[in-house]
């Protein structure tokens, strides 16, 4: 085998590993509770707010814990072993969820899965960047998005067919292991630049740029996940749509988002105004939430999928493009702190939305999210794009293989 063919095979294997890792851990587990909120609520005699704790609070609490611990210890932990641990945690957490006869077991399972997903987000992105650069990092993001979409569709089909919800979580456990055999034994990682350790919180919390990017991160990264947690149950709660059809709309939403995130990156690279992408996209996204608040009909769902899939995705690349420059003297810590903040948002947002839905206040719930996104658009209207310094300090780019 020639050296060129061998390098091509290594790149293909690395790309497949990155995709399966992001889809089977972080993505899949963000979308697998949404289709079964009703049977979980009925079987364990708990409210939708309690199911919201499972879907979001415990899961994202695990992610935040992994983000905080990982940021402190990342330089001392090898990428390969960390990725294997994340696969095993997601496997074990989903297996515990599927087999537990008690609600407490579901809580423990979601916490384990959240920690595993957090490790995947932190070390998986580093692995993607190292084996293929920005292009493979885009594949990592696409895997997460499609990973959310797939269980929304599959879980809804299984639920509509009368299949026990535990089967779906058995599938989730299996998905967590798909990347495990492909993870290389050793992943070389170049040294990272040294950053000051003192005064991080003070510098971030007193920076208008950091707060603007935090609002953007919450709007484009986590509000779609908040919507995804309840979309199937909300759409199928009326008289016009089956659970399987609602799951199809969920799949379409995140599938379109995966495509439009790539389009947003291409538009940004082509020189389209960052302000236009941010403000225009966020206003479109806000409009989609207004439509969702007013109706759960088939026509409304089609409009929501189109508007949300486009609106939330166009500004997506801007966060990663500017996140490392929010705090110029500490790019890694600044970006990590932004991700902690955005991942903390669903911890309280998802159960609050669930409580509102159970009380018949869905219009208030979705309109509140629409207002939040509109405020982010206003903040982005007055934005000054961050300029790249002549010699930017950033995460190391990857060698092509």
DSSP alpha helix (H) spans, 218-242: 223-235
Over the stretch 349-383, which tens digit does the pLDDT of each residue have? Answer: 888 898 898 888 989 999 999 999 999 999 888 65
pLDDT at 97: 96
Compute the mean pLDDT over every residue in the chain, rounded to the nearest whole number: 83
Residue 142 has pLDDT above 90, yes or no: no
Domains of the chain, each with CATH number or no CATH? 12-189 (1.20.1250.20), 206-384 (1.20.1250.20)
> How crowded is the C-beta side of 237, counted as CA atoms within 13 Å?
20
pTM: 0.78
In terms of Cβ atoms closer than 10 Å to its own Cβ (0-12, 13-18, 19+), residue 72 is exposed
Other C-beta atoms lying within 10 Å of the C-beta of residue 1: 7
> Are the C-beta atoms of residues 250 and 231 closer than 8 Å to each other?
yes
When pLDDT is averaged across residues 295-302 and rounded to a whole number, the result is: 92
Q: How far apart are CA 231 and CA 248, in angstroms?
A: 11
Q: Is the pLDDT of residue 401 over 70?
A: no
> Can you point out the beta strands (E) in 290-360?
none
**Cβ contact 262:324 at 8 Å:** no
- Residue pair 156/35 in contact (Cβ under 8 Å)? The answer is yes
Q: What length does the chain have?
A: 401
In angstroms, the CA 313 to CA 305 distance is 12
* Distance between CA atoms of residues 41 and 294, nearest Å: 25
The rounded distance, in Å, linking the Cα atoms of 235 and 394 is 42
DSSP letter (8 states) at residue 360: T
- Give the separation between CA 78 and CA 183, rounded to whole angstroms: 12
**What number of other Cβ atoms are within 10 A of residue 219's Cβ?**
31
Structure confidence by residue, pLDDT tens digits, 271-281: 888 888 899 99
Which region among 32-41, 190-199, 353-362 has the lowest average model confidence (pLDDT)? Answer: 190-199
Angle at 225 between CA 220 and CA 227, to 5 degrees: 100
pLDDT in tens, 5-30: 666 676 778 888 989 999 999 899 98
């Amino acid at each position: 085998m020639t050296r060129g063919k061998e390098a091509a095979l290594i790149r293909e294997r690395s790309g497949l590993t990155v995709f399966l890792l992001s889809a089977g851990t972080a993505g899949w587990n963000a979308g697998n509770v949404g289709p079964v909120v009703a049977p979980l609520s009925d079987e364990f005699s708990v409210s939708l707010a309690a199911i919201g704790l499972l879907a979001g609070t415990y899961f994202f609490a695990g992610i935040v814990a992994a983000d905080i611990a990982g940021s402190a210890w990342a330089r001392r932990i090898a990428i390969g072993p960390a990725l294997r641990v994340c696969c095993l945690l997601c496997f074990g957490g989903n297996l515990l969820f599927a087999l537990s006869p008690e609600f407490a077991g579901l809580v423990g399972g979601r916490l384990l899965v959240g920690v595993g997903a957090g490790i995947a987000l932190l070390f998986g992105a580093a692995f993607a960047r190292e084996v293929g650069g920005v292009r493979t990092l885009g594949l990592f993001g696409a895997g997460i998005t499609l990973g959310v979409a797939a269980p929304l569709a599959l879980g809804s089909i299984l639920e509509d067919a009368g299949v026990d919800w535990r089967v779906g979580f058995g599938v989730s456990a299996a998905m967590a292991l798909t990347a495990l055999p492909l993870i290389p034994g050793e992943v070389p990682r170049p040294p990272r630049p040294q950053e000051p350790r003192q005064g991080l919180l003070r510098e971030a919390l007193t920076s208008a740029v950091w707060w603007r990017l935090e609002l953007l991160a919450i709007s484009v990264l986590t509000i779609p996940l908040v919507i995804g947690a309840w979309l199937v149950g909300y759409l199928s709660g009326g008289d016009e749509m089956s659970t399987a059809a609602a799951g199809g709309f969920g799949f379409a939403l995140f599938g379109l988002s995966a495509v439009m995130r790539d389009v947003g990156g291409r538009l940004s690279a082509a020189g389209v105004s960052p302000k236009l992408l941010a403000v225009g996209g966020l206003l479109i996204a806000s409009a989609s939430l207004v439509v969702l608040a007013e109706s759960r009909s088939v026509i409304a769902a089609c409009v929501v999928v189109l508007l949300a899939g486009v609106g939330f995705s166009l500004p997506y690349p801007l966060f990663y493009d500017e996140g490392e420059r929010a705090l110029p003297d500490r790019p890694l810590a600044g970006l990590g702190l932004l991700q902690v903040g955005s991942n903390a948002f669903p911890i309280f947002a998802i159960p609050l939305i669930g409580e509102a839905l159970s009380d018949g206040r869905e219009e208030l719930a979705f309109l509140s999210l629409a207002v939040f996104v509109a405020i982010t658009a206003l903040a982005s209207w007055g934005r000054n794009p961050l300029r790249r310094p002549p010699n930017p300090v950033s995460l190391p780019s990857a060698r092509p293989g």
